[in-house]
Structure formats: structure tokens, C-alpha cells
Structure 1
Amino acid sequence: MKVVDPHVHLWDLEVVPLPWLMPAGEAYSGDNRKLPRRYTDRELLAGAGDIEVLKIVNVEANPSDALAETRWLQSLAARDGYPQGIVAMLDLSRDDAATQLAALAETPNLRGIRQILNVHADPRYDYVGRHYLNEPQWRANLRLLARYGLSFDLQIYPSQATLAADVAAGHPDTLFILDHAGMCVDRDRAGQREWREGLRRLAACENVVAKISGLAMFDHHWTSASLRPYVLETIEAFGASRCLFASNFPIDGLHSSYGALWHAYAEIVAGASASEHAALFVGNAERCYRI
């Protein structure tokens, strides 16, 4: 089974500290104390089982130093060829965001930027406690990405989808890649409805695609049956040509082996055509991240 994995987190805590893992603790996504202190492409490939990982995209892991993380990742690429794509962290609310972006853009494998935007009333799920999407300076700096041909990984909750769709519509020259199928965090009937409606608002923007990943963060004892509604609803909203399967390893590795996750995806979309399967598992990731 051949895949391009467009959402992995490689790190070495001895090289680039990750404050949220030092010290590690319990989180909604699992027990971070069980995560490795070093996880590079070599560890990922060694644990891939029967999955042939053609290419990977590393998405920033909320490091203490974004430039140091990006340069370290590029050194891995120089050594092993992986990661083929890098999505770096950048706080677009900063006055010096343009200078920071110019420095990051010197990295050959840089393909995009992510700034985590999740806001939630429950402190357990709240990441930033601040509505960056509403801030004029943040929006103005977002326009800088088009100058470098970079995408933006959009990590939000369903309650933020309407505002995010407005931002995407206002930045038509930037590709927005929705992380983790829109992160359906509230799973009662109202939360499910809000998530479905949010997906469709975002899908109405032609410059938004959806990454199907991170589902185990909210479903620690998942099965193919429990993942199926989230996978199929996302594909129904965006279409097979605008969805990308991804692993979110090693985070989702707290609740799954690498191979089991990919085989679950394949089981869920077993009815897809050969061209749709190739797009979901390989081609869309290559196109969206230009790798």
C-alpha cells in the first residue's frame, strides 16, 4: 500500500525543545508522556509496517523556535530525503512577521505555514484563547504567504468555520488546507450538525481542501466503523479531488499502529474508483504541497 503522508510531526527534543512536551502530561489527545522524545523519518519508516511511505510533509509541532525547527527538518531532508515538504510555524500577529517569513522561506522544502487557531470555551480544548482570525494585522500578514507561493494549514474548531471561510474567501491566492477534518470536538447532536455545516461553508471556497487526519485524538478506542462517518462526510463535502488522507503521527500513534490507521482509511473508501483512491492517498497531497 503506497501513500504520501501530508501530516506528520518529526522532532528531537534535544535539538529543538517543544514546550508542551517538557514536561509532558495528559491531554485530550492522549497521554503525552508516552510520546517519544525523538521521532524522525527513520522512526516513522521503521514503524510503517506494510505501508510504503513515498513522501511526507512535516507540520510544525509548536516549537520554541520555529526557524530552528525548520532548519533541523531541512537537515533531515538533506540526509535522508524526508520530509519532502515542511509546514513551518509563524505567528502572523507579530509586527515582524514579514521578516520571520523571509527567513523561513530560505528553507528549500518549505511549502506552507501553520499557526494553530483553535479557540474553545472548555479550557481542555482551548489552544490559544484568542481569535486571531478577527485581527486586522493577522489578516494583513496572511497575505504575505501568496508572495512566496505558500499554503496555510488551517487548524480550527467547527465554531470557527464561518469566520475561517470569510478569511479564505478574502485570500483567494492562498491555498488553505483544513487540518484534521475540521476537528469535530463536540460530538453531541448539535456539535455534529455544527461540524457538518462548517465543512460545507469551507468547501464552498474553492481554495480550501481538507486533510482527513487526527481522528483518533477524539476517539481513543476507534474502529473503522467509528471513523467512517467523519471520513465520508468530509469527502462528501469536499469531493475526492480535494481531500488528503494523513496520519498525524506520532500523536495518533498513542491510539493506533501506523499500518492499522492507513488500512482503516482504505477499508472505509473501498468503494472508491482507482483514480479516486490514488488521489486520496497520493496525488492530492503531492499537488497541494507541491512535492
Structure 2
Amino acid sequence: MNRNIPPPHIPVRPEWLALCTEEALEPSLPIIDPHHHLWQFPDKSYRSADLLDDLASGHNIRATVFIECETGYRTSGPSEMASLGEVEFVLKEIDAAHQAGSPTRVAAAMVGHADLLLGARVTPVLEGLISTSEGRVKSIRNIGVWHADPTVRASVATPPPHLMMDARFREGLSRLAPLGLGFDAWVIHTQLDELCSLAGTFPETRMVLNHVGGPLGIGPYRGKRDEVFPLWQTAMRELARYPNVHIKLGGFGMSLFGFDFYKQPRPPSSAEVADVIRPYVETCVELFGAQRCMFESNFPVDKGNVAYGVLWNAFKRIAAQASATEKARLFHDTASDFYRIAAI
């Protein structure tokens, strides 16, 4: 990840978000938030206290899953072990949340980073992440987002093209399942065929696709949502054939979707958010089933477009007609199973 390139994240404006507040719908519904970050960078910060402020929006967030974001890396020692520093940073944030009396198990599971291009040499890194995290690291993420058009800035990361097709990467990924680790995939809709190949080659590896596979609404795809949707839908239908693949339902506040709520004079209500994201959520649930889908906040990345409590209300509006069993899967059980989080 090259942090010298400005990230495609929308700045958070607390005073703007405060213009739309809502009471939590179904406040007793148990939730695991399976995708959020904690970070400290020169230009921005999102620490446990900030997360706890968002969690205090009235929803029953039982636990969360921290996702790697290249923060707190070690600055000395072997370069391949630098990401262990991020785990150490998060453990301190967990302790701070506990000291603050949080009822939520913050970072009950973690998704760490290990460079899978190391091939077989990645094993000590994986073992180090598991040990250092006290067993909380349950999955590994190597961001693979890439597009030939430089105007498509869909991620902070700048990986090489066709990362998941690299033989060294695949050798490294083969080391995950024997250690009980899953793989968090983050690619955009034009790359879903490569994830299909990966899932088919490693059926024993549990995989979860972040942010519904990134159907693009920026660069050459801006204003072409009606053209992109069926292409994304067809690719997702093919991906659904692989039973080891799960889907995170979220990320809609990122700039790549092109929804641009932040340009409005007031932040969106949950009803407004639900209206625009419903086709993507319903398509995923139809194709993969609730047992392979989980709602995610993707905070604080999505916070530039929508407030935390409003976002979960939007998800609950979309799932309003689902059965109790389906709701349990979408909001809690699928995440609990995938990340092997003990009963809460």
C-alpha cells in the first residue's frame, strides 16, 4: 500500500452527519459488525474511542471484526513481519475499549495482513500473526483491487495486476487453510472471474468477498449503473457456484459506487440509503443465501457518506421481510461462523 497517494476516502464531517439522526430499528437484534478499521495516520485517526461513539447509536452490536489497514506497522526487524505491529496496535485499542466499559467485544476477531507473494515463506508470518493476536487473527487480506484505467481509484492499495493469478500468491494462499485461516478478498467487479478461479482452485479455503465485489460507478463507469449492474450480477452468479465463498454486504459509502450522498445538503436517511443499495443486497442474498451473507459497516471509510446508526437501520429496512432465521444469519451468525467467534 502506497500511502503517498491520496486515498479515495470521503472526508468525515461530524457536523453534517449530525443533521440526520434516527432511533435504532429493532434495537435488540444481535449484530456482529464484521468489517471495520482502527487507524492512526498523520492525516486522520479512528481509534477505539471513535468506534465506541459510533457503536453507541442504539444498535445491539455484540462484537466486531477488525480489518487490516496498514496502521501501526513495525519499523524495525524483518520487513515481512512488519504487519505484526498492526495486531499489537489493535490489542491496545481492545484494552482501551475494555477499560472504557464497552459492552461490545471490539475486535473479537481480526483480519491481518501477510504478503502472500512470499509463497511458502509466508508461513512464519501467519503463525506470528496468530500468536501475537492471541488467536484473534482468523483471516488474511491482500487487497487485489486493480484496473487498467488510472482514473479508477477504488482502493488505497496499489497491488500489481492479476495478483490472484500469480503462482507465488497462490502458493502463499495454500498455507492459510492448514492454519485455520480464511481469506478476505477485495476486488472490483471486473476482476470477479479471477476470484472464481481462486475459489475453484482452493475449495478448502474459506473466502469472503468484501463490499459486494465493487460494482464500479466511477471513472469510465460513472453514469453507467444500468450497464454495470447486469455485468456484476452475471459475475456474482458465477461466483455463487463456489460454496467456500461468502459475501460482505456493505461498502456502499465508498466513492467507487458513485452514490455521492456527501454532495447533498443533508446526510441520507436510512430509507434513502436502503432504496439505492437494495438491488445489490437482494441480488447477493438471492444468489448466495443468507447463510453466506453478512452485513458490514466498513467504518470509518463509509462514514463520509452515512452515519453508523443510519446505515444499520438501512440494512434492517432491507431485511424487514426476512425470516427470523435469515435475519440472524445476515446480522450475526454468518459472521460468527466465518470468523469463528465464540458464542456471544
Instruction: Read off the aligned partner of 1:94 and give its amino acid letter.
Output: L
Matches within 5 A, 1:81-160: 81-94=105-118, 96-106=121-131, 107=133, 108-126=135-153, 127-160=158-191
Name which one, 1 or 2, has greater alpha-carbon Rg. 2
Residue 192 of structure 2 contacts residue 235 of structure 2 at CA under 8 Å; is this kept in 1? yes
Corresponding residue of 1:173: 204
Report the alpha carbon displacement of residue 131 of structure 1 after superposing the two structures with TM: 1.3
Matches within 5 A, 1:1-291: 1=27, 2-13=30-41, 22=42, 37-48=44-55, 49-63=57-71, 64=73, 65-79=82-96, 80=98, 81-94=105-118, 96-106=121-131, 107=133, 108-126=135-153, 127-185=158-216, 186=221, 187-217=224-254, 218=257, 219-221=259-261, 223-291=273-341
Instruction: Read off the aligned partner of 1:196 and give its amino acid letter.
Output: Q
Could you say what secondary structure the match of 1:184 adopts? coil
Where does the alignment leave 5 or more consecutive residues of structure 1 unmatched? 14-21, 25-36
**Alpha-carbon spacing, 1:75–1:148, altered in 2? closer, same or farther (3 Å):** farther
Q: TM-score normalised to the size of structure 1?
A: 0.87
Could you say what secondary structure the match of 2:87 adopts? helix
In structure 1, how many angstroms separate the alpha carbons of the residues matched to 2:291 and 2:165? 30
Report the alpha carbon displacement of residue 130 of structure 1 after superposing the two structures with TM: 2.0
Instruction: Read off the aligned partner of 1:153 and give its amino acid letter.
Output: D
In structure 2, how many angstroms separate the alpha carbons of the residues matched to 1:42 and 1:205? 39
In structure 2, how many angstroms separate the alpha carbons of the residues matched to 1:182 and 1:90? 21
In structure 1, how many angstroms separate the alpha carbons of the residues matched to 2:189 and 2:312? 25
Residue 90 of structure 1 contacts residue 113 of structure 1 at CA under 8 Å; is this kept in 2? yes
Instruction: Read off the aligned partner of 2:52 and give its amino acid letter.
Output: L
In structure 2, how many angstroms separate the alpha carbons of the residues matched to 1:282 and 1:171? 26
Could you say what secondary structure the match of 2:253 adopts? helix
* 1:140-172 C-alpha deviation (Å, 9 max, x unpaired): 110100121011001011121112111111111
Where does the alignment leave 5 or more consecutive residues of structure 2 unmatched? 1-26, 74-81, 99-104, 262-271
In structure 1, how many angstroms separate the alpha carbons of the residues matched to 2:309 and 2:292? 23
Aligned CA-pair RMSD: 1.7
Report the alpha carbon displacement of residue 239 of structure 1 after superposing the two structures with TM: 0.9
* 1:230-289 C-alpha deviation (Å, 9 max, x unpaired): 111111111111100010000101111100000001111211011111110111111111
* 1:8-53 C-alpha deviation (Å, 9 max, x unpaired): 001133xxxxxxxx5x5xxxxxxxxxxxx33233321222311121
Residue 189 of structure 2 contacts residue 214 of structure 2 at CA under 8 Å; is this kept in 1? yes
In structure 1, how many angstroms separate the alpha carbons of the residues matched to 2:244 and 2:312? 26
* 1:175-218 C-alpha deviation (Å, 9 max, x unpaired): 00010011111443332222111111111100001000101112
In structure 1, how many angstroms separate the alpha carbons of the residues matched to 2:226 and 2:332? 33
Give 4+ residue runs of structure 1 displaced > 6 Å after superposition: none
In structure 2, how many angstroms separate the alpha carbons of the residues matched to 1:6 and 1:254? 19
Instruction: Read off the aligned partner of 1:245 and give its amino acid letter.
Output: F
Residue 115 of structure 1 contacts residue 154 of structure 1 at CA under 8 Å; is this kept in 2? yes
Corresponding residue of 2:11: none
Identity %: 31
In structure 1, how many angstroms separate the alpha carbons of the residues matched to 2:273 and 2:53? 24
